[in-house]
Every structure is written in C-alpha cells, then in structure tokens.
A and B are shown apart, each in its own frame.
Chain A
Amino acid sequence: MIWNKLTYTGWGRVRSATAQVARPERTSTLAATQAEQSAPAFGMCRSYGDSPLNDGGHAVDMTRMDRLRGFDPDSGVLEVEAGARIGDIARRFAPDGWLPAVMPGTGFATIGGCIAHDVHGKNHHVEGSFGQHVLEITLMNDGKLQKISPSKGAKLFRATIGGMGQTGVIVSAKIKLLPCKGDIITVTERRIENLDHFLEALDNSQSTYTVGWVDATAKGDALGRGILEEAETGYGLVPDAKTPKTVPFNAPKWALSNPIVRLFNSAYFRRVPEEGRTSVKPITEFFFPLDKLLAWNRLYGKRGFHQFQCVVPVAEAAVLRIMLDKIGREGLASPLAVLKRMGAGRAGLMSFPMEGYTLAVDFPNRGAAEALIAELEEITKNAGGRVYLAKDATLDASPIRSMYPDVAKFAKIAKEVDPDGHYETDQTRRLKIRSHA
C-alpha cells in the first residue's frame, strides 16, 4: 500500500496531525507517490512544532531513503539521501577525519530536515549555517527530479534551503564535510555567574564550538547564570559513547514542576567545579547530549512541551534580560535553556540565523506557557529579531513579514513551483507564509 493513515506529532507533541502518509524506500516509489499526490516531506519529526505536519492531507516520510551515495575523500564532498541522519554521518566519517560542517543539537535530524530548516550548530559563529555547506540538492517536484545548486537554479536553491519543504521533496544532496582531527572532543566547561558575564564570555570565546547552558529559573543577581561549554575536536582514545536509554512512558506532571527544575538546575550548575574543568568525550556526547536519552520528550508528560527559540541582534542584547526575567518569574521553564552567539551566516531566503544572540528555552505545555511564549515572541519582533520556525508551534501570522523580510520573495518562488499549494503544512498555513506571494 502507498498511503497509510497515521497520526503523528512534532517533537514537542503539542500539535498533531492525521494524514495519509507514504514511506517510499526508493526514488522510483517516491516518484510514484508524488505522481499520485504531491505532498510535503518530513524526516524524523525532530522539529518541535507543526512544521512536519499536514493534518487532513498527505505527507511523505523520507526516513527510509537514507543511503550514502558517494564520497570524495579529497574534497570531503558527500552525496547522501535526504532521510540519512546527521549523527550517523558523524559517527561514520569522524574516524576518517571528517564531520558534517554543521550539526544541530540532535543527531536524529535528517539531511532533508537540516536543509529545509537551514539548521545551525555550536559552531555557527565560525562555519555559518548548514545550507552554506550544501553544494547541490536533488529536488522532486511534481514527480520530476531536478538538480539545483548555487550556480544552477540558484533562486530555487535559495528558496529550498530553509524553505520548509515548500519547493518540493528533497531527495538527496551533496554536502561538504569539514576536516576534523578525530572522533573525540575536548570540552572545557566554566561556570558563568550572570547574563553580562555570559554575553562577554560568548563574545570572547575563541573556540570552534561554543554553547551556553542557562539556568532559566535563576533570578536577581544570578539571572542568566549558567555554564559555558567550549570544545575542539581531537584524536585520542576514550570509551565509546554509552548505549542510549529510553524514557519508557509519559512522566507525571510534577516531574518537571518548578521546585524540581530549580533543584535540578542548581545541582547542574554546581556539577561543574568553580574553577571549571576540561574533559575528553566521544564527539556525539558533546554534539548530541540529549540523544543519550531516547524519547526524552515523554518527560514532559502527554501534554507535551514547547520550545521557544529566538535570535536578537547584538545591539538588542538587553532584551535577553527582560526575557529571562519574565521566564524566571513565571516559573515555567524546564532545565533546557541554551544561549549562543550567532554569526551572520545563512543560506536561504527563510533562514533563521542573524548576527546576534540566540536563546532557546523549553516550557512544559501547561498554564500560562503559550501566553508567556506570545510575550517573548512580541519582544523578539520589537527587537528586530526572529523566531526559529523549526521550533515554532505558536507564532501568529502577522509578525512573519518583519521577522522574515524575504518572505514575499520566497512565497513567489514557492508559488511558481507549487501553484496549488500541495506542499503546504500546518505551519505554513498557520503563519500564512504562502499568502505573501
């Protein structure tokens, strides 16, 4: 059977969709599904909100098309099918001295998803976004294959990177891997006492990989305290990454209640000694720390959770204090909050990154969470920043034009290749992205 009626969700599990889903294993079967019904593609559904969802419609699960198609050890160019997972590629190539140039926080993200959201990693300030390392995309639109690149079909290429699948199904891509010294990583962790200290430390960091964990429950003088992690790849011998464990069922509501999160965060902060520490780990433990716990989204219980992620320009760093203050007061934050310095690198019309600071915070889906997120979205917009569509499930349609100034250009290109809106998703409908054409 081609189509299978399924109910599925994004990683945050707040929004769900029931759709007719195809899961092709070969290009020929993908073409057959698309000839019958053009439909948006999704991968591992690691996006938090509704970007993979198409409620009441059709969708294509690309996870079975995950093969490595070719690798040139001189240039580091890898050709790979869209359903392949970034962590598998890292594990395969790191021992040979190559890594995906950009890796998001989970190794379960697929190549197709990394392109469609133009994801960034802990080295964004150095290497830019994922799309900047994509040399060619094989796109299926209307059942036909075409190869696009910065030199051939450049317009469509720029609309496909970060384009949330609106230009067709990404079938495979050529990506340029980055030389690395080996498959271990040296990580230096330091305590950061407050927000000013954090911004300064992020600005001054000389490391290739930098990321900050923020205690989003801290208030007053400790507002914005956290841990700065700086890392470099290297060669050496460390024990293999441990086999991941699974969260077997939905956690009860109190599991991530405010007192428990506060306790956890304080312990997590003190885990790193006052003078800091340096340790050596398998690369995957640094890049994909949460992948050690499979189905960790169940910790938020059956109602799920939201992740708010924004980026604000450097000059507007002061709004981060306002945001963290609001978050601390509401007492809704989970242990997961991340602060990072972003460079200017972005490859698509709808790419998220901008030069500035990006803050990501998880909130269990309860009480005032959505109202708080709406306030944070408003602050972001007023600061000239933007919300990350890979995480978003709540944004209103109106701020899109100011957050994503190229949305009209994008919508026009999408309309040219998909005049009937077959590739629309719950998210693009909610944000009325395609209506800007």
Chain B
Amino acid sequence: MTETWIILGATSSMARAFARAVARNGAQVLLAGRDMADLQASASDCALQGAPVAEALHFDARDQATFAPIIERATALEGMINVAVFVGSMPTQEAIDADPSLIAGTVTDNYAGPAAFLQMIAPKMEERGGGTVAGVGSVAGDRGRIGNYVYGSSKAGFHTYLSGLRNRLTRSGGHVVTVKPGFVDTSMTWGIEGMFLVASPEKIAADILTAVEKRKNVIYTPGFWRLIMGIITAIPERLFKKLSI
C-alpha cells in the first residue's frame, strides 16, 4: 500500500534515521526543513534506500506560509498521508533567563508551529480515512524542572495537543503516536555534560516505527524512560520543588 511520510524538521539526526527507515519500507518521503542543501542530500539518500518519491521541501515552524505548499504536495501524491514531527529547539535555560523573548520562538518551534501544521493537514488525512501522526515530544515535558522548564512546558503543550488530535483522528481511522525520547545522541546534545543512558537516533527511529505499526498511543524511547519518568512524576510537589534534577 502506498503511503507518504511528511517529515517536519527533517535535518535532525532522529528525523534522518526515521526517514531512512520508512524509505527502506518503500514509503514516499517529503523532507521538510530549512537547510535545503542538506535536505536535498537526505532526499537522494532516501531515494536510494527505496523511497519511490523523495523530495526536499521548505518548512519553517515560524513561517506558516511555508505550510500550504507541503500539504499540497502531499495531497497530490497517492495513498495515506502520515506526518512525523521532529521539529523543535532547545535554548538553554540560562539564555532564556537572560532574554525571556526567546520563549515565544521556543514555543513556536516545539508546539505552536507544528500544531498549526497538523491542524491544517488533519482534514486531508480525514478525507483519506487514515494516516498516522508521530509527534516527537520529550520526557522534559512530563514535569517542569529548574534546568529546562521553558523547553519542557512547550513540549508538554505539544503532548496535550497530540492527545487531543489522537482523540479526533481516531474517529476517521487515523492515529497519533506521542513519542517521548530520553537523551538522544544528536548534534543538539553533543558535548553537553550530564547526559546518561544516551540512545542512538537509529534506536529512536526504530522504536517510533514499531509504535506506528502497533498503533501505540504514547511511547517512551528507550522504554526504560517510562520507569524513570514514572518515578519523577510521582515525587510530591512539596518535595520536588526543592530538588534540582
């Protein structure tokens, strides 16, 4: 069965690994992001890995004018439309403390931008009676922590949005997977101290693909993060507010 994966934020290493995995399964891929030269390189890779269609398209979470052409291109292709959202940004908490105006951009990159895109494409998915959204959130969205709460809250907003979208798309045969990765070995985390149990982008991509196939609702990847976050969310607030984890 023909299907298309729109991959938002396709230059990230997780997105690249995921695009390669779905390309190997024979899906059509639309790689959306800002660095067109890099996306072009990934598109040629996907085509050679087995994608019958692999194209680079311009996408900027902060510029909604870039959304419609991607949706048009996807609807011009046959088969189910799927969307994987890898877009996001993580300024350090210190940078945000110094310049609170960074919050608006962070929220747009992690939540408002991709949510607006999904809102625009949802009717097209409903028309075709299926399709899957894999939305990459973060374990940081499960609880506000002193070191990362602006990023975390934008991801929490995105989680809640995905939960609502799941509720909606399931009525037309569609599905939404909320993906909460722990620490991943990407260029975003390269050289940052305090990383532990770091997973490869390929591992995350494989977990997402399995979750999509099994129509899971919310996954932690690697899976042990469910346990870690279970403990962290269980800590009573009166105690948690004094911790710096």
Binding site for B on A (CB under 8 A): 1-5, 23-29, 64, 67-71, 81, 92
- 24 example contacts (A-B, Cβ-Cβ < 8 A) are as follows A4-B190, A5-B191, A23-B190, A25-B11, A25-B13, A25-B16, A25-B187, A26-B11, A26-B35, A26-B38, A27-B37, A27-B38, A27-B41, A28-B37, A29-B187, A64-B187, A67-B42, A67-B44, A68-B45, A68-B48, A69-B41, A69-B44, A70-B48, A81-B41
| Docked-complex contact A68 and B44, CB < 8 angstroms | yes
From the candidates A1, A28, A67, A68, name the one contacting B35 in the complex (CB within 8 A). Answer: A28
Secondary structure at chain B's binding surface: helix, strand, loop or mixed? helix
Q: A1-B192, A23-B190, A25-B187 are in contact. Are A71 and B48 (CB under 8 A)?
A: yes
Nearest CB of A to B149, in Å: 21
**Does chain A have a CB within 8 A of B170?**
no
Residue from the set A24, A25, A71 with the largest chain B CB neighbour count within 10 Å: A25
Q: For A92, what are the chain B residues with a Cβ–Cβ distance below 8 Å?
A: 48-49
**CB 8 Å contact bits of B28-70 with A (1 = contact, 0 = none):** 0000000101100110110011000000000000000000000
Interchain residue pairs A-B with the least CB separation, the first 9: A4-B191, A1-B191, A67-B45, A68-B48, A26-B38, A68-B45, A69-B44, A25-B187, A67-B41
* A81→B38 CA distance, assembly (Å): 12
Q: For B48, what are the chain A residues with a Cβ–Cβ distance below 8 Å?
A: 68, 70-71, 92
Closest to A66 in B: B45
Secondary structure at chain A's binding surface: helix, strand, loop or mixed? mixed
Q: A69-B45, A92-B49 are in contact. Are A64 and B191 (CB under 8 A)?
A: no
Nearest CB of A to B93, in Å: 16
Q: For B41, what are the chain A residues with a Cβ–Cβ distance below 8 Å?
A: 26-27, 67, 69, 81
Q: For A29, what are the chain B residues with a Cβ–Cβ distance below 8 Å?
A: 187
Interface size on B, residues (CB 8 A): 16
Closest to A26 in B: B38
| Docked-complex contact A23 and B187, CB < 8 angstroms | yes
Nearest CB of A to B185, in Å: 9
Q: For A71, what are the chain B residues with a Cβ–Cβ distance below 8 Å?
A: 48
* B175-204 interface with A by 8 A CB criterion: 187, 190-192
Nearest CB of A to B15, in Å: 11
* A70→B192 CA distance, assembly (Å): 34
* A26→B187 CA distance, assembly (Å): 10
From the candidates B11, B16, B45, B190, name the one contacting A1 in the complex (CB within 8 A). Answer: B190
Q: For A3, what are the chain B residues with a Cβ–Cβ distance below 8 Å?
A: 191
Q: For B44, what are the chain A residues with a Cβ–Cβ distance below 8 Å?
A: 67-70
Q: For A64, what are the chain B residues with a Cβ–Cβ distance below 8 Å?
A: 13, 187
* B182-231 interface with A by 8 A CB criterion: 187, 190-192
Closest to A70 in B: B44
Q: For B37, what are the chain A residues with a Cβ–Cβ distance below 8 Å?
A: 26-28
Closest to B12 in A: A25
* A82→B29 CA distance, assembly (Å): 24
Q: For B13, what are the chain A residues with a Cβ–Cβ distance below 8 Å?
A: 25, 64
| Docked-complex contact B49 and A68, CB < 8 angstroms | yes
Closest to B201 in A: A64
* A2→B187 CA distance, assembly (Å): 8
Nearest CB of B to A205, in Å: 35
* A29→B191 CA distance, assembly (Å): 15
Q: For B187, what are the chain A residues with a Cβ–Cβ distance below 8 Å?
A: 23-25, 29, 64
* A26→B33 CA distance, assembly (Å): 13
| Docked-complex contact B49 and A2, CB < 8 angstroms | no
* A300→B11 CA distance, assembly (Å): 39
Nearest CB of A to B44, in Å: 5
* A241→B242 CA distance, assembly (Å): 53
Supply 10 further A-B pairs (C-beta < 8 A) apart from A25-B11, A68-B45: A23-B187, A24-B187, A25-B16, A26-B41, A28-B35, A28-B37, A29-B187, A67-B42, A69-B44, A92-B48
Nearest CB of A to B187, in Å: 5
Nearest CB of A to B225, in Å: 22
Closest to A81 in B: B41
Closest to A1 in B: B191
* A50→B44 CA distance, assembly (Å): 34
Q: For A81, what are the chain B residues with a Cβ–Cβ distance below 8 Å?
A: 41
Nearest CB of B to A305, in Å: 27
* A67→B44 CA distance, assembly (Å): 8
Nearest CB of A to B54, in Å: 11
Q: For B192, what are the chain A residues with a Cβ–Cβ distance below 8 Å?
A: 1
* A281→B194 CA distance, assembly (Å): 45
* A67→B16 CA distance, assembly (Å): 10
* A29→B41 CA distance, assembly (Å): 14
* A26→B49 CA distance, assembly (Å): 19
* A69→B192 CA distance, assembly (Å): 31
* A20→B203 CA distance, assembly (Å): 26
* A68→B11 CA distance, assembly (Å): 15
* A70→B16 CA distance, assembly (Å): 17
Q: For B38, what are the chain A residues with a Cβ–Cβ distance below 8 Å?
A: 26-28
Closest to B41 in A: A67
Q: For A1, what are the chain B residues with a Cβ–Cβ distance below 8 Å?
A: 190-192
